[in-house]
Structure formats: C-alpha cells, structure tokens
Structure 1
Amino acid sequence: MAGATRIGGRAGLLTALGHGLVEAPLVVGLAFGLTRFLALPGVTAAIGIGGGLMLAWMGWGLLRAPADLVAAGAETRGSPPAGSLVLGGAIASVSNPYWVLWWATVGTAYVVAGLRHGVLGVALFYIGHYLADVIWFGAVGYGVAAGRRVLGARAHAWLLAGSGVFLIALASYFIYYGLGQMGRIA
C-alpha cells in the first residue's frame, strides 16, 4: 500500500485488481484438484521460503525508506503507474504463504461447497470473495492515505518502520517454517 501515500485510496483498488487476477485462475485450479499439489511438502517449503524472502524484502524496503521522503510528502514524487500497483498486488498475493495456506484449506472448502451448485456456485463464490477483497483493500488504501495526514509525517515514518520490523519478523517465521518442511530444521 505504499502507493496510497502518493495516489490515495485508489492504490488499494488497483492492488485488489492484481490480487483478484491471480485468485481467479487459482479458484479454477482448485475446482480441478490443485489442492493435492499445494499440500506437497516441497511445494509448501518453497512457498514458505519464497514468501518469507519476499516479505523480508518488503520489510527492508519499509525500513530503509528515508524519513525525509515521508516528511517531504511522498505524493510530490508523482503517481506510480497503475500497472505497477496491479502487478504489486499480484506479487504480494502469490508470495504470501498465508494466502496460499488459506486457499489450500479454507478457500478450497468454499470452492468445493460452490461446486455443489455447479460452475455458477463457484463463480458466485469468487465474485463475493473478490468484492470483499475490493472493500478491504480499498478501505486499507484510503486509511493509509488519510493516516499520513492524521498522524503527521514523523509518526507516519515510525509506523512504516514498525511495519517493516513486523514484516521481517514474519518473514523469519515463514523461512523457518519452509526450512522445517525441507527437513533442514528439526
């Protein structure tokens, strides 16, 4: 949601689009049995390690963002291209191990429940799920955009740094989990 400080809440909606573009084929894949593949230890290990590395990179980016950029106002740098926010939403989704875990468990159960009503059931589930994502990402995007004005530049910089530390800690957990799935950690 870094784009929200530059272009406002619209960044959340563009991020939701990228998120939805990777979820649509995933829902179709789950309807055709993809869950068995996602449950393989090698796949979960790769998702854990790869997702952990991605989260660490994102956390590091938040930590090294210069405070003067936040203080000066990130919106003065110009708007990021819409495509980069859509791509960012897609990458953030597929690199998040919890996203994969949710779809391999809870999401699969919903897809199976939808299949009881045929293709229409799965389509209606996906549309409802996607609309919930749009509402969530939109609310977060608008909240981030407004938060900088409400908190002030210094508090916003500290919040971003704290978020970076949190992401790095979460990344460490995912990498640890992935190595454990490979048998590298007892």
Structure 2
Amino acid sequence: MPGPVLIYTISRSLSHGFISGALAAIGHSLLELFLVIGLTFGLDRLLNNQIAEFVIGTAGGLFLLWMGWGMSKKPVGTAIPIVDKSDADSSRGPISAGIILSATNPYFFVWWATVGLSFIEESREAGTAGIAAFYTGHISADIIWYAMIALAVSSGKKFLSDTTYKVIVRCCGIFLICLGLYFAYAGKDFIQRILP
C-alpha cells in the first residue's frame, strides 16, 4: 500500500541510489520487530486507545506535512543529484527515516493492532519459533518489495530528464502533504468526539 515509507524510498533512491532507498525498509523492519515483541506481550491494549490514536495521528500528520513541504519546495533549478558513495550519513539517515516514517503513520499501528495482531495470535500456537517465522517472512516481503522499488527507481533514473525528476520529487512531496493533512484532520475528529 502506498504510504510515507514508499514515497521516501522513491525520492531517496532517485537522489542517493538503490542502497539508501532499501535501507529505509530495514528501519521499517526494526520498528516492526519491537512491535511484534510488544504485541506478543500485550501492547495491543495501549494501541487500541483513542488518546494513542490522536497522538500518533497528529504527530504523524505534522511530521508528514514538514517532510512533504521540504520535498515539494525543491528549487526550480534542481537537477538529478549525483550519488555520493562516500556519504557518511548514507546508512543512518535512511534507517532512521524508515523508523520515523513508520512510527508517525497511524495506519501502520492500526494494521499491527488488528491484522498483524491476528497473525501473531496464530503464530503463538507454534511458540517462539512461530512468531519468529511470521516476523521473518513478513519483513522479508517488506525488504524485497522496497528493495525492488529502490532498484527500479535508481536504475531507471538515467532515463529521466531533470524536469521529470523534479516533477516526481514534487509529486512525492505533495502526496506526503496530503497524507499529513488527512492524519491531522483525523486528529481533529478525535478532539470533536471527546469535547462536549
């Protein structure tokens, strides 16, 4: 499903190459590891709380607005960047972004508190090995998906003009702004529900 991590993967792969886009999936998977462990031990009670939903939705909406604004306001003269293989931040940045973008996406937690939790419940029947097998299969699919997207985007970059590159990055930014506005609007609905 298209979401913030996918948009980041597309944008980052265009500007920094395949590896940095794929590393975002590793960050996403690290957060999922903590969620699987937490859900195994009862974290679902915390996530199925309206206040948690409001905080995650509002913080996520604001973060996505900020990130989308940064992507969409690229200078008009922006050209396709040359990938700098010596970038010291090349691994930490995308991994952190994968964690932050997942953590600020309310639908990520909704999925884990519902669908993901049901998979964990079924996996529990096989004990720790069942939960480990579920997590490994799930993150393998995520990493393969994001890696394929990153590879397709970074290898296809040579066929893009600077104008096409700018349009893609701006579209990614606008998509994140729309997601951010939607999440912020959902937070407003929560406030209206709890206030008389």
The 1:182–1:138 alpha-carbon spacing in structure 2 relative to 1, beyond 3 Å, is same
**Deviations, residues 36-86 of structure 1 (Å, cap 9, x unaligned):** 1101110001111111111111211111122423x2x31256634311111
> 19, 24, 33: which one pairs with 2:28?
19
Q: Mark the runs of 5 or more structure 2 residues left unpaired by the alignment.
A: 1-8
Query: 2: distance between equivalents of 1:18 and 1:108?
Result: 20
Query: 2: distance between equivalents of 1:108 and 1:165?
Result: 32
Aligned length: 184
Query: What is aligned with 1:56?
Result: 65
SS in 2 for 1:74: coil
Q: Does 1:102 align with 2:92?
A: no
Query: 2: distance between equivalents of 1:142 and 1:67?
Result: 26
Pairing of 1:4-153 with structure 2 (within 5 A) = 4-69=13-78, 71=79, 73-75=80-82, 79=87, 80-153=89-162
- Match of 1:75, as an amino acid? I
Aligned-pair distance for 1:123?
0.5
TM-score of the superposition, structure 1-length normalised?
0.90
Aligned-pair distance for 1:144?
2.4
Query: 1: distance between equivalents of 2:164 and 2:23?
Result: 26
The 1:160–1:7 alpha-carbon spacing in structure 2 relative to 1, beyond 3 Å, is closer
Aligned-pair distance for 1:139?
1.3
- Match of 2:129, as an amino acid? L
> Considering only aligned residues, what root-mean-square deviation do their CA atoms show, in Å?
1.9
Q: Mark the runs of 5 or more structure 1 residues left unpaired by the alignment.
A: none
**Deviations, residues 67-110 of structure 1 (Å, cap 9, x unaligned):** 423x2x31256634311111111111111111111111111111
Query: 1: distance between equivalents of 2:194 and 2:178?
Result: 18
- Match of 2:42, as an amino acid? G
